[in-house]
Each structure stands twice: as structure tokens, then as C-alpha cells.
Structure 1
Amino acid sequence: MDSVNRSSKPVMFTGSTVKVLMSGRQSGGQFCMLEFQSPPGRSTPMHSHDREEETIHLLTGVLEVTLGSETVLLNPGDTLLIPRHVAHRLCAQGEGSARYIVVCTPAGFDEFVEACASADSESAQTSVPSAADIARLRDQAPRFGITLLPSA
């Protein structure tokens, strides 16, 4: 097991740049750690994870997290645990990008990101998710125990 990650390249994942800091392969499946950079207004769809807990640590910007019917604003330095099976949505707020670390336990979400990454990941610039991005999410989500919920 190679426990030092020195060469992770960012990929485009539904409008955000994502860098895998520690993969499940490197942690023996125990966890994965990813760094997200999301432009203002970029939002995940409302969804839940059947297989992993998700811990979010905000580095810069503002991140609005919807947990069921509750909304929490994260500011730099804030950390939030989202238990499995809890419906949630993340949305970057404010003027600048939100940069945050996501740790999923156990690992697996890193493989979902890899499976859904845009074919044009070379540019790695934040953008609005395309129809193809959303189609990849819908196609791959069930395979990874992720449920995409209808918009409210």
C-alpha cells in the first residue's frame, strides 16, 4: 500500500474540480479524502449515501449544506459530519469559490468521482454541470449506493 500521494491531478466532477488526496486503494478501503473547489452557486443534487459517512471541512468560502429540511452554513474552519442515509445537498455561496475537504468512511466515493469525471478533465476549470455530467451521475449512482432525490 502506497500511503503517500504526491501526484493527484484534479478532475472535473459536475462543475467542481476535485483532487483525490487519499484513495481507498491507498487506505486499504478504510477511507478516502478529496479536495473540492466549487464555484459560487454550484450545487450537488439532493442525495444520500447508503455506504459511507461524509465529513466535510471547509477551507475557504461559504458552503450551504441542506440536511433533510434543515440548512447549515459552513464558514472556513467548520467541520460537519453527514451520517449515511441522511439526504443532503452542498451549495457554494458568496462571491468566491468554496474549497473544502471531504472524507468518506469507508472509501468508495472516490471511485464514484472517478467514474463520473468529465472526459474533458484536462482543463480542470470549475463550470456549470452539463447534461452529460448529470446523465453520468444518474447512471453511476446506484452502483455506488448513492440515491439521487428529486428536486424540491
Structure 2
Amino acid sequence: MSESTSPEDPAAIPPDDPARALTVARPGDPGLRHLALAGDVYTILVSGEQTGGRYCLIDMRVPPGGGPPPHRHDFEEMFTVQSGQIRFTCRGEDVLVRAGETVNIPANAPHFFRNVSDGPARMLCLCAPAGQEEYFLEVAVPVDSADSAPPELTEAEQAAMRERAVALAARYRTELL
């Protein structure tokens, strides 16, 4: 081992961790978790549990006009639009993101997005570090597949979901605005 890669060198790359397995996310995998939240359907493709907490990857299917309310959190969030057009608002600035384009939302920046397409839009969302998927698991309604329609919720059920989202937000480093 050279001096620059000695175990005492803080810049040294640590050894491989064979306890961490290769992760492959395949559409239709019965182990994937699908969640309905605010009219959208999110599929957790790669969880923080699978990445040692480094990041999570979520497939988002967003109906026309769909998207979350304004919020912010202390982790980075990157979106790659796969189909449709999404208008992102970050710190009051609007930007239209089309299929094939990627946008990164800096940690702590107030933001939200809307599908401005005539049809459903689809995005991949990477959150680093992980944790957003755990928040979604606690707040959202499980559905059978990525193609499932979100369940019709009564006003009381919608209010209860909003209350749960607000009550759990701080635990998941999120602030609803």
C-alpha cells in the first residue's frame, strides 16, 4: 500500500462491503412498493435500506395538474422527466422540464411541481440521502401497481392524510409550506 492509500489516510477508499448486494429494480417485480399520494402514484425502485442510506430512487407517475404542495427539505432531490412536461417552481422561479431533461432541487430550497401536460407524466426522482421513501410509506396509501389509479378518498380521509403528513414532516426533515 502506498503512503497515499494507507489506512490512516482519510481520503483512502474503504474496502468493498460484501454485505451490500447488487440492486436491480425491474418493472413488475412483486416486491416493489407502490403508493398513492396526492393523486400521484409513486413506486419505490431503490430504497435507502438497499443503498446504506446514501439515496433512494422513486418512479413517479403524475396525472395532469398533479404534483405536491410547496415544501422544502434538507436533502437533495433530482428529477429526470421520462414523459410529459413538468413545471418546477424553486424559490419562486418557474422552469419547464420536458421528457429527457433533468432538474436538481438544492437541499432546503422551497419548491413544488405540476404536470402541465395533457396526459400523465412520468419521472424518476433520486433523493440523497435517502429517507423520503420512508415518509411516503408512512403517509401514502398502498396500491397494487404503478398503473393503479389512486383510490378515491373522502374529504375526511384526505384531511386525515394531510394531518398525518404534517405531523410526520419534521421527523423526515421536511417542512410543508
Fold-level similarity (TM above 0.5): yes
Distance 1:71 1:12 in 2: 26
Match of 1:88 in 2: 111
Are residues 1:8 and 2:32 paired?
yes
Say whether residues 1:19 and 2:43 are aligned partners.
yes
Matches of 1:84 and 1:40, distance apart in 2: 26
Alignment of 1:3-152 (within 5 A): 3-5=23-25, 6=29, 7-50=31-74, 52-118=75-141, 121-122=143-144, 124-126=148-150, 130-149=158-177
> Aligned pairs, how many?
147
**CA separation in 2, counterparts of 1:44 and 1:127?**
17
TM-score normalised by structure 2 residue count: 0.77
Which of 1 and 2 has higher RCO (CA within 8 Å, sep 6+)?
1
Taking structure 1 as the reference length, the TM-score comes to: 0.88
8 Å CA contact 1:38, 1:126 repeated in 2: no
Root-mean-square deviation (CA, aligned residues, Å) is 1.8
Which is higher, the Rg of structure 1 or of structure 2? 2
Task: Please state whether the residue corresponding to 1:26 is helix, strand or coil.
Answer: helix
Structure with the higher fraction of residues in helix conformation: 2
Q: Secondary structure at the match of 1:89?
A: strand
Q: Give distance in 1, aligned partners of 2:108 and 2:83.
A: 27
Kindly state the Cα deviation for residue 127 of structure 1 after the two structures are TM-superposed: 6.5
Structure 1 stretches lacking a partner, 5+ long: none
| Distance verdict in 2 for CA 1:92–1:64, change over 3 Å | same
Deviation of the 1:43 alpha carbon: 2.5
